[in-house]
Amino acid sequence: MSFDVSVGLRLGEARLGASFRSKSGLTALFGPSGAGKTSLLNMVAGLLRPEWGRIIVDGETLFDADEGIDLPPERRRAGYVFQDGRLFPHMRVRTNLLYGQRLAPRGRRLMGLEEVTDFLGIGTLLDRWPRTLSGGEAQRVAIGRALLSSPRFLLMDEPLASLDVARREEIMGVIERVRDELALPILYVSHDRAEVERLATTIVAVER
């Protein structure tokens, strides 16, 4: 079982709750904007604390309200890819990637810099500044930085939302390779049905 999540949280006047289990592959949280998908992702990442419930990824308990378990984000080993990439603007691509590598636990390196750049086809971008990258290039670098942190699983929050059609197709191909060749569990947020039907092995509907 990749993800076993049952959590709840009150956000202002709204109450957010979700319960789902999924097998290996890509699990998509699918629903309209404002339904709480990103909040669920942040609970799994450890950036937002649920009021009740549990979060188990690949058999390891990351959060359990009843047992008093709440691993800090750095111990959860999640690679997080945001909608806008969030590359450090004052660092060239190589340094952005190596920042991810510094977060990897010793002796648990999933991939090295050369492997990641070959896998994602970003070797020619290493000396570029983030501001000079296209949207698709920036997202490939963001995925590379996440992979170099040697994550146990990946969290992806609308990674295609700001891309044009050609770049969306490019990054979907990258995500499919990560899903199939690296076999990392992925929890993926989207409001695009065609996107999740292509990428997801499990779809979890999230409603307001």
> Model confidence over 43-83: pLDDT tens digits?
999 999 999 999 999 889 999 999 999 999 989 999 999 88
Task: Write the burial class of residue 24 (CB in 10 Å: 0-12 exposed, 13-18 middle, 19+ buried).
Answer: middle
Query: Across all residues in the chain, what is the average pLDDT?
Result: 90
- What are the helix (H) ranges across 77-134? 93-102, 113-120
* Record: fold of 3-205: Rossmann fold (3.40.50)
CA distance 62 to 26: 19
Q: Does 14 have pLDDT greater than 80? A: no
pLDDT band at 105; cut points 50, 70, 90? confident
> Model confidence over 20-33: pLDDT tens digits?
999 889 999 998 88
The one-character DSSP state at 159 is T
CA distance 35 to 118: 37
CA distance 53 to 7: 4
CA angle 103, 109, 114 (to 5 degrees): 95
Domain boundaries along the sequence of the chain: 3-205
